Amino acid sequence: MRRLALSVVTLAVVAGGLTACSEKERWCEHDATDTVVDNSYCEKKTSGYEWEEESSGSTKVKTKKSKKASK
């Protein structure tokens, strides 16, 4: 009985660790320009916006583009 309880606890710890490592970060982008925008656009399923996820081979930099004031 003791061995069974130890096996169950060990399995739970391992499964929890794997789940934490497999979660991917995601962000919302304007589809046509690949501009990172507020997540509310994708949460509302606004046309022209889509979720993007980080992949292991990704070299993409996630930054919000801002408009520069002209002088």
Strand-pairing partners, residue 29, are: 36, 50
- pLDDT attached to residue 54: 82
- Residue 51: C-alpha distances to residues 19, 42, 45, 69 (Å): 20, 6, 10, 29
pLDDT in tens, 16-58: 554 455 567 999 999 999 999 999 999 999 999 999 998 655 4
Phi, then psi, of 27 in degrees rounded to 5: -150, 165
Name, in order, each residue with C-beta under 8 angstroms of 65's C-beta and a sequence gap of 6 or more: 33, 35, 36
Tell me the whole-structure pTM to 2 decimals. Answer: 0.45
With H, G, I as helix, E, B as strand and everything else as coil, classify residue 5. helix
Strands (E), 1-71: 26-30, 35-37, 49-53
